[in-house]
Amino acid sequence: MNLNCMVVDDDDMSRTIIKRYIEKTNFLALKYECTSAIDASNLLKEGNTDVIFLDIQMPEMTGMDLIKTLEEDYQIVMITSAQEYAVEAFEKQVTDYLVKPIEYSRFLMSASKVKKNIENLQRQNEKHHDIYVRSDSKLIRLDIENIMYVEALADYVIFHTKSKKHIVHYTMKGIENRLPTSMFSRVHRSYIINVFNVNSIEDNSILIGEKIIPIGASYKEMFINRLNFL
C-alpha cells in the first residue's frame, strides 16, 4: 500500500529534505509539492491525498489556518521549527509534530504511525457489512453490498443503492476512509464505486447499471492495477 503525500512548506531546503525522506520510504509516494498553504488548499480539492506534511509558519495562510479549512479526513504531520504550537496542533488531531531539523529515523517513526493509523481504520471497516447514514433527519442502515456508487455533490455525498439514493452531509474522503477497500475504490474526485457492481470499462469511463462514471487521471493507475485481468 502506497500512501500519497503532499508536502507544504515555503522553505526550499525543508521541502527538499522531506521529499528525499519520502523517496527513501517504500510505502510513501510524493503526490504534490506546495510552497504555500493556499496552493495546498486548491490542490486538495483534486483528491487522492492520504497524508500532508505541513509547515506552520507560512505567509498569507499558516498551516494551522489550512487545517481549519479542511473538510475531509487526512493524516497530518506538522513539520516546523516552532515548538510552541504543539498543544494546539494535537488539539486539532494531527498525527504527529516534528521539530526541525528532522532526522530520517524520526521521520520514519512518524510515517509508520500514519501507515498504522490508516491500516487500522481499513481493518475496522472490513469487519462491518453495514453503515449508518443520517438522511432526512433519520439514521438509515445501508447494507454496503447494496451500495452501487457514491457521488459528491457540493458539501454532500449521494449514496446510490440498488433501490434508492440517500443524500448525506459528509465528505468524500471521510466516506472513502469508512468503506472497505476490498469492495470500494475511489476512481474520481467525485466518485467512489463498488467494484463488484461494475458492468464494463471503456477508455476512461466505467459503466455501473445505466450510469457512466468517469475515471480521473490521478486515480486510473491504482484502479486498473486492482482489476483481475485474464
Looking up residue 95, the CATH number of its domain turns out to be 3.40.50.2300
Q: Are residues 206 and 92 in the same domain?
A: no
Whether the model pTM is above 0.85: no
Q: Are residues 100 and 155 in the same domain?
A: no
Q: Are residues 59 and 89 in the same domain?
A: yes
Cα separation, 162 vs 46, whole angstroms: 28
Q: Are residues 155 and 85 in the same domain?
A: no
Boundary-marking domain end, from 100, 126, 152: 126
Q: Are residues 174 and 81 in the same domain?
A: no
Q: Are residues 81 and 28 in the same domain?
A: yes
Q: Are residues 8 and 112 in the same domain?
A: yes
**Residue 62 domain flag:** yes
Comparing 128 with 83, the larger pLDDT belongs to 83
And the C-alpha cell for 115?
501507515
User: What is the structure's pLDDT at 192?
Assistant: 95
pLDDT digits 0-9 by tens, 139-167:
888 888 899 999 998 878 999 998 889 99
**Residue 146 domain flag:** yes
At residue 185, what are phi and psi to the nearest 5 degrees?
-140, 135
pLDDT mean over 57-74: 87
Q: What share of the chain is helix, strand, coil (3-state, %, to 5)?
A: 35, 35, 30
Using DSSP, state whether 121 is helix, strand or coil: helix
And the C-alpha cell for 72?
475531509
Ranges of beta strands (E only) in the chain are: 3-8, 28-34, 51-54, 75-80, 96-99, 130-135, 138-143, 147-153, 156-161, 165-168, 184-188, 191-194, 200-202, 205-208, 211-214
Contact 149, 194 (CB under 8 A): yes
**Residue 230 domain flag:** no
Using DSSP, state whether 123 is helix, strand or coil: helix
pLDDT digits 0-9 by tens, 199-222:
999 889 999 999 999 999 888 888
Q: Are residues 186 and 83 in the same domain?
A: no
User: What is the structure's pLDDT at 1?
Assistant: 67
**Residue 88 domain flag:** yes
Number of domains in the chain: 2
Domain membership of residue 136 as a residue range:
130-225
Q: Are residues 9 and 107 in the same domain?
A: yes
Cα separation, 186 vs 49, whole angstroms: 11
Q: Are residues 142 and 110 in the same domain?
A: no
Contacts of 137 (CB under 8 A, 6+ apart): none
**Residue 96 domain flag:** yes
